[in-house]
Amino acid sequence: MFEWIRNLRKSSAPARKMRTRSESDEAVRVELAEFAPGILPFLGLTAYLQLELYEAATRGVSGAATLEAKEVLARVAGQTLAKHQRFTDEIRRRGKEAHTAMQPYSSVIDAYIERIDVADWHQHVLSLYLVGGLFDGFFASLAHGLTDPYRGEAIEILEDDPGRVALRELLAAEIAADPKLANRLALWGRRLVGDTLLVSRAVLGLSEHREFIASEVEPVFTELIADHIRRMDRLGLTA
């Protein structure tokens, strides 16, 4: 997995110069859209994932050493909880209980959170920054394939990430204050992408429109990894 990521990092830079970011986003969006699940599985998955990200952000608050860091993480927690609530409100609007819609997908998300759970506060915050960004982008792209009037609102919710910049700036300040953090965080970032792709594969298997065949969706995962690399690069970390 790491060798694939290193090769991608070398080979993808020229390709990114050949097309605009908007063109790149549209290409991966079309591919992912073909694997969109039904609306209730989509809502259950995204609602539960946002709930877990909210809980992770609150744990970051309790471990923060400064008031500034606590404020940033508390803001991120509030924004993530708001996303969760908008999805659960839609589930209830459709006559379903939110916990019932989320339950079938809790085990795969719980197993993922358990794998990436770490006591180190800096690694924990990096997880919030990278994982939150990857999954919001992934599910926003999937949402383009929803055959439901809620499609537009779902995309709007997932693409709204005002806390991501604040997390990046917080991490950048921590790395500047202690440059030795960079190597440890770079290693952790590499570990995260593999586990995240496993969850993404499981989600694509829920598609009601197209059978998941790994070889056919490799470009999707290639672009997800490229997005991960770009986030790492913004922190000066080598993926």
CA angle 85, 87, 93 (to 5 degrees): 100
CA angle 141, 146, 150 (to 5 degrees): 100
Which of 38, 42, 72 is CA-nearest to residue 57?
72
Name 121's Cβ contacts closer than 8 Å, sequence gap at least 6: 60, 63, 64, 65
Nearest-angstrom CA–CA distance, 134 and 151: 19
Residue whose structure tokens are 């790491």: 2
Positive or negative, the Cα torsion across 50, 51, 56, 58? positive
- Cα distances (angstroms) measured from residue 183 to each of 5, 31, 216: 17, 34, 34
What is the SS3 assignment for 32?
A: helix
pLDDT of res. 106:
92
Instruction: Please provide the DSSP assignment of 78-99 as one string.
Output: HHHHHHHHHHHHHHHHTT--HH
Q: What is the pLDDT tens value at each position of the chain, 239 positions in all?
A: 444 334 444 444 333 333 344 444 444 444 778 888 899 999 999 999 999 999 999 999 999 999 999 999 999 999 999 999 999 999 999 999 999 999 999 998 998 888 888 999 999 999 999 999 889 988 998 899 899 999 999 999 998 876 889 999 999 999 999 999 999 999 999 889 888 888 888 888 777 776 766 666 777 778 788 888 899 999 988 75
Alpha carbon 99 to chain centroid distance? 21
CB contact at 8 A, 151 and 42: no
- Cα distances (angstroms) measured from residue 166 to each of 74, 175, 193: 11, 14, 21
Alpha carbon 50 to chain centroid distance? 10
| Local structure of residue 214 (DSSP, 8 states) | G
- Cβ atoms within 10 Å of 6's Cβ, excluding its own: 14
User: Which class would CATH give 2-234?
Assistant: mainly alpha
